[in-house]
Amino acid sequence: MNEDAALHSFRGIGKKTEELFHKLGIDRAGDLLTFFPRDYMVYPKPLESTDQLEPGKKQALYGFFKKAPVNHHYRSMDVTIGYFYIGSRGEKAIQVFWYRMPYLSRNIHIASPYVIYGTVGEKNGDLRFEQPALFLPQAYEKETNRLLPVYSLTKGISNQKMEKTVEEALNLCLPLKDPLQKEEDLLKEAGLISYEKAIRNMHFPESPDRLSAAIRRFSYQEFLVFFLSVRMEEKGLAKEKNNLVLDRHETCDRIRENLPFTLTKGQEAALSDLNADFAGPTVEERLIQGDVGSGKTIVAFLSMVRMVENGYQSAIMAPTEVLASQHQKTFQELIDRYQLPYHIAFLTGSLKTAERRQALFDIEDGTADFIIGTHALIQEGVSYHKLALVITDEQHRFGVRQRDAFLKKGQHPFSVVMSATPIPRTLALILYNGMHVSTIRDVPSERLRVKTAVIPDGKRAVAWNFIRKQVAAGHQAYIICPLVEASENLDQENVTDYGKNLAEYFKEDARVGILHGRMKPEDKDKIMTDFASNKIQILVSTTVVEVGVNVPNATVMMVENADHFGLAQLHQLRGRVGRGQWQSYCILINSQKKNADHANKRLDIMNRSYDGFEIAEEDLKLRGPGDARGIRQSGDSPFTMADIYQDSNLLELASIHADRILEEDPELSAEGHEGLRRLVDAKADETYTNL
Ligand code: ADP
Ligand code: MG
């Protein structure tokens, strides 16, 4: 089949380039079809004067050449240098450089209008264009009406190369086989376009509306596959009888009476919901939704103590090693503070062999009362002694259930999923089909509200200065950048360079650390430990700190390119500060130039509201169709394209459709379901391997 064609059979792709594509997870022609752009770009309107030129930005200029550019030969390379006169009268000129394109000097028409487009450079204070694309004005005009795909790339593959390769793959694979070919009626009912049309418009949108239609189609597909995967897994798993004997509650009561704070109403309610579950006839699953900082950890701890004091094991599973080791520390502190005779086993993927062996022993023979870790907890080779409760913290992957995994281990624990993703109850009920839901809406009242400010990136120095003062007062700060390293086609801050600049700026006044998902687990852990113990004062990080991290001494959360983030995500980030008794601050840098006002308006919601549910709703209202949706950066989102808020009607429909499909073909084994079945299997795998 053509979809299986190897990449080196493509024009202009040799073994070396093929390797680069492999790095992006692209092994065959078919993989290219679903390697969707991470963003889309529109060519900007051409400028007619130099005033608005900004170094580092991609810009277009309208003008002409008075003389033919001249070819030079430097270090065995052809360099063509010309002067481009800007505007129709051409009062000012900018120097333009082209490499390895000597033919240009002959082909350019003197005194006739052109548009040049590229990144504005700067050398010794002079602005210049290097290697700009050259257009006739009419041709450029046409381009400005198109949405151009922007792909996530790796060094050695340019965006243009990717575009060409995708196009070739598309032509090679025609006609495309729709994985939902059997579901034509359902697609029609949902008003969705065909697979082939959708694929084409994802890569090369004919218009913004067509792009929206394509995204809608794949959002639906994503939901549908999700529901099919969850439901097929759940099917046939009858509820277990609850055999737990939970007579003792003295320890639990004693801790509650001696907490340094009083529990909020929401925390109390969640705990009594859990206790009612524990006393019921069957083993249940519960979702606890609580905004950032609402104090879910103590709820987890108390319900786990309840199990442990009755002789059972209980486990808590976190999505990241950073969060798992933070829980370990918190739990150990609580054990010490209340002098509890309990033992913790800690299990993650990066333990040394001896440590791992010890942890496994402790878990198996019952020495371990609390078991804390990552998804390593459900992997093979872990046997439990008397596991009664499993809590999954910060569950962003909706509907994920560990029940199956533990059943295979012969255990029937109660299962609790804790999430800070604010979703309306109706949606939660669909996404977590059949789970009970508790919602903690209040946050501890004595806490001071985080003061929030939105500022343009030109005022960054003010923010840094502010951080300097906070650090001098003994506090700490987070600074979030969207990228790990500098990127060729993305104009956003990156942790690596930012960290270096900041360390230079602060010199002896503060220690700066960097954190991102590509670091080794032990390095991440070291940085987080150093930050938690104030050995590092400023942590420059990607959004890996978004999830669950608790360092109460940190009082500043500064977010670079804040306009680029979803508000729900910013809300999560802001939730990392304001956790102690000190006034805390959230500084959002708006780096939008073109649409600064719109971005400001959106970000300003953060100023007005501190309620995650409300923020998510407001964000939704302000987003235009196709605007900032889908194509997301964050790896935490369970859906790459679909947006549960914006597409809530599609979500509902997909849920109903999934049931209908399974009613007719429970195993998805009917003819014509091969493609769909493959997608569902891949989804199920991802659930267990991605964390
Ligand atoms: P999240 O719900 O985001 O996981 P955490 O459990 O990390 O929040 O709690 C955040 C902070 O609030 C912790 O330092 C915790 O000790 C504290 N905390 C929890 N409950 C209360 C409460 N009822 N009153 C005051 N502080 C609380
Ligand atoms: Mg938490």
Nearest atom (ligand 1) to Cα of 330 = 16
Residue minimizing CA distance to atom 5 of ligand 1: 295
pLDDT digits (tens, 9 = 90+) for 636-674: 456 777 877 778 889 889 999 999 999 999 999 999 999
CB burial class (10 A; 0-12, 13-18, 19+) of residue 608? exposed
Query: What pLDDT score was predicted for residue 40?
Result: 86
Query: What pLDDT score was predicted for residue 556?
Result: 97
Contact call for residues 691 and 374 (beta carbons, < 8 A): yes
Query: What pLDDT score was predicted for residue 630?
Result: 36
Among 256, 261, 394, the mutation site with the greatest number of ligand 1 atoms within 8 A of its Cβ is 261
Contact call for residues 456 and 588 (beta carbons, < 8 A): no
Among 297, 303, 323, 394, the mutation site with the greatest number of ligand 1 atoms within 8 A of its Cβ is 297
Distance 278 CA to ligand 1 centre (A): 24
pLDDT digits (tens, 9 = 90+) for 573-627: 898 998 888 999 999 999 887 677 878 888 888 988 888 878 877 776 665 444 4
The ligand minimizing its distance to the Cα of 532 is 1
Amino acid identity, position 413: P
Distance 250 CA to ligand 2 centre (A): 26
Kind of pairing, strands 585-590 and 554-559? parallel
Q: Which residues of the chain have pLDDT under 70?
A: 1, 236-237, 396-403, 422, 488-489, 546-548, 594, 620-638, 686-691
Residues contacting ligand 1 via CB (< 6 Å):
261, 263-264, 267, 290, 292-298, 420, 444, 548, 550, 552, 579
- What residues have their beta carbon closer than 5 A to ion ligand 2? 548
Q: Is 271 helix (H, G, I), strand (E, B) or coil?
A: helix
Strand order in the sheet with 476-480: 451-456, 585-590, 554-559, 476-480, 538-541, 512-515
Helices of type H across 442-595: 460-472, 495-506, 521-532, 567-574
Distance 688 CA to ligand 1 centre (A): 29
Contact call for residues 318 and 376 (beta carbons, < 8 A): no
Residue minimizing CA distance to atom 14 of ligand 1: 579
Query: What pLDDT score was predicted for residue 438?
Result: 92
Q: The whole model's pTM is what?
A: 0.69
Q: Which helix (H) or strand (E) holds 150?
A: strand 148-150
Distance 339 CA to ligand 1 centre (A): 21
Query: What pLDDT score was predicted for residue 648?
Result: 81
The ligand minimizing its distance to the Cα of 292 is 1
For 94-128, give the DSSP string.
Answer: EEEEEES-TTHHHHPPTTS-EEEEEEEEEETTEEE
Contact call for residues 334 and 360 (beta carbons, < 8 A): no
